[in-house]
């Protein structure tokens, strides 16, 4: 009597189930990051904007992240969601085929290809994040999930690690098919997500005209999400009560009788402040002459020279304090605005010495600058700036006040309000969507 052949061992399920869980977790985290990115682009604050060094916002606003968004039509968070969808789909396909008695090799090979792509992307994005000079906690969590997925795909799935002869076609067909479907499905919301430079680009392309209809055209040309952000900011601005200035202007750009009088407080190491300085420099070139007067005030986020900050708020170098005092010291210089922009352009490498070097590279001599930084008069002016800012219940930087009312530091909103001569009830704003209910709540403050 012939012996019956032993049945093949059952196809393991534990590894694919673990991959399904990891894929779902990564997809959920990507959705959360995308939601936080939309909050940031709308002028709000994010949960992971913890400090200068632990700050997802710095990474999301980096040139690398902007380049990815520009070239692929969606932010990095959306690409993470594409990867998560592919991982979940292939894991589910493996489990369905296994339960139906079909070969799982195409799904197995696809999962390992997906894992390899995720590991490579984690390396590239990790290096890019490191070069931005800040630590992104949610990015690190994504890398951990992706690398865990790769480890399970390598060790926890049956069969040879690499596709065998004749297996490449089906593996690529399923993996590429899921990836293409996910990418196409997310492309429209990805393209509608405002880019870090979108508002600046919109300002750059506007002509310096106050002709009727130009503001409406500008607002209608904004992405839908940014139109909503402008509408929300406008509602908050309208509800804010104007307050009188606590001190007379020391240095003003533009005419004293300009319809829009803007005062802005910045910190030299604040990434949002750098963005504001850059966009205001561009606005000054694009706005019709006479519309804006601008004052630059100081609010260093360092307890060493700003007693309104908690004692832990200091990096010990004194960079913020030196930069604030040095900017006060060059207020009378003819090249004040150019030197200030140069200072913020070098934000990533600032220290007390480089601050002094940059701000003494123009019309103000180094000896004069050093003496002024150490003077009691400069200390008094800084205290004046801080007290003025606290009148508006400042919670972070930048703080922008237009005609006595606090205004969200959203470039598109600021540009539109200036074009409307500071009038929140201008007819052009009727093209915007209705403000969301939370717009009537207290201001959000970037850090």
Question: Which of helix, strand or coil describes residue 74?
Answer: coil
First to last CA, the chain: 82
Are residues 240 and 124 both part of a single domain?
A: no
Q: How many structural domains is the chain composed of?
A: 2
Helix (H) or strand (E) holding 405: strand 405-407
The 10s digit of each residue's pLDDT in 392-428 is: 988 778 999 999 999 999 888 999 999 999 999 999 9
pLDDT at 198: 53
Say what the pTM is: 0.63
Point out the least confidently predicted range of 54-58, 111-115, 340-344: 54-58
pLDDT at 105 over 80: yes
Cα gap 143→31, rounded to integer Å: 15
Q: Return the SS3 of 99.
A: helix
Dump the DSSP string for 211-258: -TTHHHHHHHTS-HHHHHHHHHHHHHHHHSPP---SS--SS-BS-TT-
Same domain, 279 and 169: no
| Neighbouring residues of 253: CB distance < 8 A, sequence distance ≥ 6 | 284, 292, 293, 294, 295, 337
pLDDT at 192: 87
For residues 163 and 113, what is the distance between their CA atoms, to the nearest angstrom?
Answer: 9
| Percent of the chain with pLDDT strictly greater than 70 | 90
Residue bearing the bigger pLDDT, 276 or 4: 276
Band (pLDDT 50/70/90 cuts) for residue 441 is very low
Sign of the alpha-carbon torsion through 420, 198, 271, 138: positive
pLDDT tens by residue, 285-311: 778 889 999 999 999 999 999 999 999
Residues 118 and 248 in one domain: no
Q: Indicate the range of 103-107, 169-173, 244-248, 442-446 predicted with least confidence.
A: 442-446
Asked, for residue 9, whether it belongs to a domain, the answer is no
In 3-state terms, what secondary structure has residue 315? coil
Q: What is the pLDDT of residue 177?
A: 97
Q: Are residues 103 and 251 in the same domain?
A: no
pLDDT number for residue 444:
43
Same-domain status, 212 and 298: yes
Query: Up-side HSE of residue 168: CA atoms within 13 Å toward CB?
Result: 1
Q: Are 81 and 186 in contact, with CB atoms under 8 Å apart?
A: yes
Residues 28 and 90 in one domain: yes
Residue 80 has pLDDT above 70, yes or no: yes
Comparing 440 with 340, the larger pLDDT belongs to 340
The arithmetic mean of pLDDT across residues 258-274, rounded, is: 93
Range of lowest pLDDT (215-229, 261-275, 329-343): 215-229
Residues 234 and 335 in one domain: yes
Residue 256 pLDDT grade (very low, low, confident, very high; cuts 50, 70, 90): very high
Q: What pLDDT is attached to residue 51?
A: 64
Regarding whether 103 and 136 lie in a shared domain, the answer is yes
Among candidate residues 107, 232, 219, the one with its CA nearest the CA of residue 170: 107
* DSSP string over 360-389: TSSSS-HHHHHHHHTSHHHHHHHHHHHHHH
Q: CA torsion 222→228→229→231, rounded to 10°?
A: 100
Instruction: Tell me whether residue 1 is in a domain.
Output: no
Domain that holds residue 148: 14-192
Least confident range from 162-166, 256-260, 299-303: namely 162-166
- pLDDT of 203 > 90? The answer is no
What pLDDT is stored for residue 63 in this prediction?
Answer: 73
């Amino acid at each position: 009597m012939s012996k019956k052949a032993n049945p093949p061992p059952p196809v393991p399920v534990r590894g694919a189930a673990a991959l399904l869980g990891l894929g779902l977790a990564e997809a959920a985290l990507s959705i959360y990051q995308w939601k936080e990115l939309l909050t940031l682009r709308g002028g709000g604050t994010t949960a992971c904007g913890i400090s200068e060094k632990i700050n997802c916002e710095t990474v999301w606003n980096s040139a690398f992240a902007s380049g990815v968004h520009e070239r692929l039509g969606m932010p990095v968070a959306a690409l993470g969601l594409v990867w998560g969808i592919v991982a979940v789909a292939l894991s589910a396909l493996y489990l369905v085929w296994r339960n139906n008695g079909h070969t799982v090799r195409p799904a197995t090979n696809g999962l390992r290809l997906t894992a390899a792509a995720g590991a490579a992307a984690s390396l590239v994005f990790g290096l890019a994040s490191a070069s931005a000079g800040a630590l992104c906690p949610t990015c690190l969590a994504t890398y951990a999930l992706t690398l865990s997925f790769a480890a399970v795909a390598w060790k926890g799935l049956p069969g040879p690690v690499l596709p065998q002869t004749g297996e490449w076609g089906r593996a690529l067909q399923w993996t590429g098919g899921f990836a293409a479907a996910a990418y196409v499905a997310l492309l429209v919301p990805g393209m509608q997500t405002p880019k870090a430079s979108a508002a600046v680009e919109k300002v750059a392309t506007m002509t310096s005209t106050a002709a009727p209809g130009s503001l409406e055209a500008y607002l209608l040309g904004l992405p839908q999400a940014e139109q909503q952000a402008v509408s929300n900011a406008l509602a908050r601005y309208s509800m804010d009560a104007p307050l009188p200035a606590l001190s007379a202007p020391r240095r003003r750009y533009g005419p004293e009788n300009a319809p829009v009088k803007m005062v802005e407080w910045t910190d030299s190491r604040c990434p949002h402040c750098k963005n504001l300085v850059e966009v205001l420099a561009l606005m000054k070139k694009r706005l019709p002459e006479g519309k804006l007067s601008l004052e630059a005030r100081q609010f260093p986020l360092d307890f060493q020279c700003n007693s309104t900050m908690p004692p832990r708020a200091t990096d010990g170098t004194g960079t913020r304090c030196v930069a604030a005092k040095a900017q006060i010291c060059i207020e009378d210089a003819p090249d004040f605005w150019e030197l200030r922009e140069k200072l913020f352009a070098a934000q990533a490498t600032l220290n007390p010495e480089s601050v002094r070097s940059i701000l003494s590279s123009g019309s103000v001599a180094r000896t004069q600058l050093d003496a002024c930084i150490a003077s009691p008069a400069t200390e008094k002016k800084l205290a004046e700036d801080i007290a003025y800012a606290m009148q508006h219940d400042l919670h972070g930087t930048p703080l922008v006040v237009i005609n006595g009312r606090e205004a969200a530091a959203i470039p598109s909103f600021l540009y539109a309000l200036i074009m409307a001569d500071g009038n929140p009830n201008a007819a052009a704003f009727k093209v915007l969507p209705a403000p969301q209910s939370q717009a009537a709540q207290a201001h959000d403050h970037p850090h």
